[in-house]
Amino acid sequence: MTLKPSRRITLQDVAKHAGVSRATASLIVRNSPKVAAKTREKVLKSMDELGYVYDRVAANLRSQSSSTIGTIITDVGNTFFSQFLLGVHRELEKYGYTVLLGTTFDSLKNQDRLISTMLENRVGGILLCPVSTSSTETVERLKKLDIPVVVGIRELTDLTCDFVGLNYQAGAYLAVNHLIEKGHQRIAFIGGISNSTTWIERMEGYRTAHEEAGLPVDDSLILDSAPTREGGVEAIQRLMQQDNPPKAIFCFSDLIAFGVIIGLRKMGFTPGKDVDIVGFDNIPEAEISYPPLTTVSSFAKKTGTTAANLLHKRINHPNEARQRIIIEPELIKRNSF
């Protein structure tokens, strides 16, 4: 026997079941404050009993607007981005937005696909943390999008849209200058992808700290790697194989620093005693790592909140002047130096 597919429950079905008009039911699914609490409770109960699912895409088409925001990050497994997303979600939920999340894993192909998917779902705006290899074509594509875009964390050259990020140069300067003040003259810079803007800006801070202290920069102590724990392990192994390895390391991120700590222990060194380490980001694990990690706070949650708030403002005021918001870092001193 062939079973007929069940019919999709409509908003009209919900209204009839609850004994209200379709217009009233529509106000409730759009979270309008104009409906009495008792009526709202009755309609929500009918939705639950009937199994009603709100067709948000169809609603967006009818209203020519969207309450859905697309957020694209590079690595959901990176605690920095977990904190960033916490700020994003909490801020956007205040305004009644639904967040669609995509992860690129730092792949340009994935990024292009996710942008297309967000557009197909008719999002009202995109919050993009670009991949390290974002190209001129990426910039041109974003320029042509007919929706608000806020770029976060990694700035794209020549892209005239809202941006929220950190003063990475100042953060790196704080870290390296701290190690110099501790008496170190040979300081390595480990991790990160060397053609990304976030790496380049950290590199500027690294060089500035050396120049102000009258110290030469030894290029053999600068090793890039994948921005992961594994990348940190691999980079520290290369570094410590040198004839005269340094006793101080500035790491591109806390994840890199954790990999460095693991690698040093495998080679018989004691992190924080034999080799001083400073990280970057101040993710929650930095405080409870062994040893507790001295690091630069990049205020991930604050950055996410700021970016989300800026996107909300852009959606509601599309013609206002573009903003470039730079958050200042802070050195958090612990026991890894």
| Peptide bond between residue 245 and the one before it cis (omega within 30 degrees of 0) | no
In this prediction, the residues of the chain whose per-residue pLDDT falls under 70 are 1-7, 30-31, 53-66, 336-337
Instruction: Determine whether 120 is exposed, middle or buried from the number of CB atoms within 10 Å of its CB (0-12, 13-18, 19+).
Output: exposed
d(CA 115, CA 118): 5
d(CA 39, CA 319): 38
CB atoms within 10 A of CB 157: 8
d(CA 15, CA 43): 7
Query: pLDDT tens-digit profile of 81-107?
Result: 999 999 999 999 998 898 999 999 999
Domains of the chain (ranges, CATH numbers): 11-54 (1.10.260.40), 67-166+300-327 (3.40.50.2300), 168-297 (3.40.50.2300)
HSE on the CB side for 65, CA within 13 Å? 6
Q: Which helix (H) or strand (E) holds 249?
A: strand 248-251
pLDDT attached to residue 231: 95
Read off the DSSP letter of residue 41.
H
Task: With CA atoms as reference, report the closest residue to 276 among 215, 213, 187.
Answer: 187
pLDDT attached to residue 62: 44
For the chain, helix (H) and strand (E) counts, in that order, are 13, 12
SS3 256: helix
Strand order in the sheet with 125-128: 98-103, 68-73, 125-128, 149-152, 162-166, 324-327
Tokens encoding 108: 């340009």
The model carries a pTM of: 0.78
d(CA 228, CA 285): 14
d(CA 40, CA 26): 11
d(CA 272, CA 259): 14
Percent of the chain whose pLDDT exceeds 70: 93
Total residue count of the chain as it appears in this document? 337
62 CB contacts (<8 Å, ≥6 apart)?
none
Query: pLDDT tens-digit profile of 268-310?
Result: 999 999 999 999 999 999 998 888 999 999 999 999 999 999 9
